[in-house]
Amino acid sequence: MRQIGVVLFIIALLVVIGGLIYWSVSSTPASQDAQIVSFEVEESDLVVETRGDVASVSIYGVVNDTNATGTATTSEDILIGEATQTETETAEGVTQWRLQIPSAPLPLMAVYAQAYGEDGEELDRESLSQTGPSEIRNELWGGVGQTNLTLSVGETGSVGEAELTLEEIVDDARPEGGLTARVTLAPEDEEAQEVTLSTDDEQETVGMYILQILEVSPEMSDGTKISEEDYEIRFLVFREAKL
């Protein structure tokens, strides 16, 4: 009788353990199996391939801000865009997502794709193999020598083989209008060129270089008067590829 009781106890214990294992497996979210299979550049698109229960894919870039010496001071992740799911199925169970590369170059140190589940939970992340501003600029936009540079009035910063100097603030009509600044770009072994940049303009081409004002500080409010020495302007500067 005692042996029968022991056997029944063992059977009951095995049933309980089996039930726990089944519950654990069956309750595991399918999203845990979701993953990014690949992340590449194809012509004018950023292309992501995923497997499993992926609800959306966002593509981000890592931006470094630099001081006048070219040293990175801060970094932040910016959203490049939301990829769109296509009808293409490159392999069984693999879904393709595409995002058109922005027409205007961005000062990126890295680019990565982030996959999300139905509830917005982060599932998987994959970065492009290219890193650093030159590699990414060349892969996405076909150029080199990209820099994100912050300057005060009278300060000069290095941009690859060139130097950029913020000469003066010509006009500041913020917040209703834009800010205009005069800068000098001096490429190595070439004549320096003065150019006027405005926050109202997207980009300005100066020889082989393209310049753009990204951000101005401090912010301007109605009736505020800012001394010229208090201005800091963040520029996007890159040199087009030599074809």
- Using a pLDDT cut of 90, give the percent of the chain over it: 45
DSSP-derived letter for residue 22 is H
For residue 167, list its beta bridge partners: none
HSE (CB half, 13 Å, CA atoms) of 83?
Answer: 28
Q: Is 127 helix (H, G, I), strand (E, B) or coil?
A: strand
- With a cut of 90, say whether residue 171 has pLDDT above it: yes
- How would you classify the pairing of strands 193-198 and 204-206? unpaired
127: which strand partners? 112
For the chain, percent of residues with pLDDT exceeding 70 = 77
More confident residue, 20 or 169: 169
d(CA 95, CA 36): 9
Beta pairing partners, 202: none
Average the pLDDT over each of 20-29, 94-103, 170-179, 195-204 and give the range with the smallest value: 20-29
Dihedral of CA atoms 182, 102, 70, 203 in degrees, nearest 10, equals -10
> pTM for this one?
0.51
CB-CB contact of 204 with 194 (8 Å): no
Instruction: Residue 84: count other Cβ atoms within 10 Å of its Cβ.
Output: 13
